[in-house]
Amino acid sequence: SKMTVKAVKMPCTSANVYTKVPDGGWGWTVAFAFFVVEALTYGIIKSFGVFFNDLMESFDETNSRISWIVSICVFVQTFTAPLSTVLSNRFGHRLVVMAGGLLVSSGMVIASFARSVVDMYVTIGIVSGLGYCLSFLPTVTILSQYFDKRRSLVTAVASTGECFAVFSFAPAITALKEQIGWRYSMLSVGVLQLGITACGSLLRPIVIREQEEVKAQPPEESTETKYMLENEQTCTSIESIDSGVDITTSPSNVPGKTKAEPKSEEPKHHGQNPVENNSTPPEPKSKLLDFSVMRDYSFICYAFFGLFATLGFFAPSLYIIPLSRSLGIGKDHSAYILSAMAIAEVFGRIFAGWVLNKKPIRKIYIELICVVLLSVALVAFPFASGFWGLMICSVYFGFMLGTVAGTHIPLLAEDDVVGIERMSSAAGVYVFIQSLAGLAGPPLAGVLVDTTKNYSSAFYSCAAGMVLGALFLALVRPCKTGLCHHQQQQQQQVEESTAGPPPELPDDFIDMDIGKAENSGKGSDSV
């Protein structure tokens, strides 16, 4: 009888166990949770520009000092990414995201009672910033584990949550401020962000266990069965029919690389069904944070790409409304420009996911093209004049931003960067490296605006960072296939020469051992 290990359906509080990546199932619920988390994290951060003028008037502060609120928030969010990875690996994604939602909501609610910009630095910058990190990164990581073939498309579509948030929150908060003021509007946003905690409760862990098929042994003991049991430690068998031992010639079965199973002190009973002893081996303990990715040159280049590209992610969303106001555009029309940018970003994310889902395709090159076009969009802003000129630039920028922002973290799961096995640790290190740009980007743009008295300088600084990011992104693939591969080959050759060739066994050693066993049996009978 043939027994197959099937997918196990677990209770709501337990892990989902599959024999392979489901590419759906409970993953659709996780995708919805990620959509809402995106809306309540990055969507709120990008919509924070609607509070800028109110904060400047209430606290009598400059652009650069108000910009530090978002800068500290983004810095804390990215700087604590390794902490998010460690906590997720230790306590699970669900608890970490739920705790992050509580921090995000608490920081925003307390900020509505702030009396100085320093209070905003602590509440929104540190408290909410830490909550954003604990909420966003574990969600996108576990979503990537639920999908394989559809990963790029599903992640891109789910990440449109922040775009819909900017599209709806910017006009809504603007209208709400006119009715109840900016403080109660900020308080309402903080209460709304409690939804992150509810989304965190939907993040069931996922376990992938390869499907195993075994064939029951006959009750009588034959010569072949006897030999197979005696030679279990050598990983060889007479037949390749599910005996529980591989006889493939893959490197995992080469002598010296075979993982010997621990010997059991209990005696083995011949003819026993191997299914009964085929208990699931204990899973190896994974590292809480694997910094070995820092030895991968392709990942280093990709991390520098994220470092410089972050300069162009937040500043345009923060300064598009002040720029429109400086051009004589009213408050309502300025909010419409930000909303149009968000809608265009939705289409950009979906388009990027659709393109990257095509096979065969080198995804890293598609990302490079999108980054170059995004740099062009940033340069175009200073040349815009009037409402429609700024609207066209915003739509173009939003579309290209969607192609990059929705894919740069999921691309870590591709083999061109680190692969799905090391994505959890790589994402923590990658976002951690982005923290410097998240801290320096908006204040740098604010200093340039205060110095030049022109909002165009903020977009030039973003464009310069994006161009540098494109240069490092162009080096990712060559490092993976060229320089690093050559060094790995040299290191492997040195190891092989040091270890020496593996001992060779005669092709007929199985038959020889069986023959000896039969001859000894006949000799004992004759005696």
In this predicted structure, what is the pLDDT of residue 385?
82
CATH architecture of 17-211: Up-down Bundle (1.20)
* Mean pLDDT to the nearest integer, 178-188: 91
**Which of 97, 70, 129, 110 has the alpha carbon at shortest distance from 190?**
110
In this predicted structure, what is the pLDDT of residue 239?
39
Give the model confidence (pLDDT) of 169-182 as tens digits.
Answer: 888 888 898 899 89
Both tokens of 418, joined, read 């680190």
Proportion of the chain above pLDDT 70, given as a percent: 71
CATH 1.20.1250.20 in the chain: give the residue spans: 17-211, 289-494
Give the model confidence (pLDDT) of 8-62 as tens digits.
Answer: 444 445 666 776 777 778 889 999 999 999 899 988 888 887 888 889 888 888 8
In this predicted structure, what is the pLDDT of residue 104?
94
For residues 33 and 447, which has the higher predicted lDDT (pLDDT)? 33
Specify which of 133-142, 348-357, 487-496 reaches the highest per-range mean pLDDT.
133-142
Lowest mean pLDDT among 103-112, 147-156, 413-422: 413-422
Alpha carbon distance 293, 275 (integer Å): 39
In this predicted structure, what is the pLDDT of residue 241?
38
For residues 370 and 288, which has the higher predicted lDDT (pLDDT)? 370
Q: Return the sign of the alpha-carbon dihedral for residues 63, 65, 69, 71.
A: positive
In this predicted structure, what is the pLDDT of residue 487?
56
For residues 362 and 381, which has the higher predicted lDDT (pLDDT)? 381
Between the alpha carbon of residue 258 and those of residues 112, 238, 239, the distances in Å are: 62, 18, 19
Confidence of residue 265 (pLDDT cuts 50, 70, 90): very low
Give the model confidence (pLDDT) of 197-213 as tens digits.
Answer: 999 998 888 877 765 54
Lowest mean pLDDT among 50-64, 247-261, 307-321, 449-463: 247-261
Inform me whether the pLDDT recorded for 72 exceeds 50: yes
In this predicted structure, what is the pLDDT of residue 249?
40
In this predicted structure, what is the pLDDT of residue 191?
94
* Mean pLDDT to the nearest integer, 143-160: 82
* Predicted TM-score of the model (pTM): 0.60
Inform me whether the pLDDT recorded for 187 exceeds 90: yes
Query: Taking all residues of the chain, what is their mean pLDDT, rounded to a whole number?
Result: 74
Contact 149, 414 (CB under 8 A): no
Q: What is the 3-class SS of 467-504, one letter each residue? A: HHHHHHHHCHHHHHHHHHHHHHHHHHHHHHHHHCCCCC
Give the model confidence (pLDDT) of 381-428 as tens digits.
Answer: 888 888 888 899 889 998 998 888 777 877 877 777 777 777 777 777
* Mean pLDDT to the nearest integer, 357-364: 74
Lowest mean pLDDT among 242-246, 315-319, 324-328, 428-432: 242-246
CATH architecture of 289-494: Up-down Bundle (1.20)
Alpha carbon distance 70, 51 (integer Å): 11
Proportion of the chain above pLDDT 90, given as a percent: 14
* Mean pLDDT to the nearest integer, 261-266: 43
Beta bridge partners of residue 8, listed in sequence order: 17
Number of other residues whose CB lies within 10 A of the CB of residue 404: 25
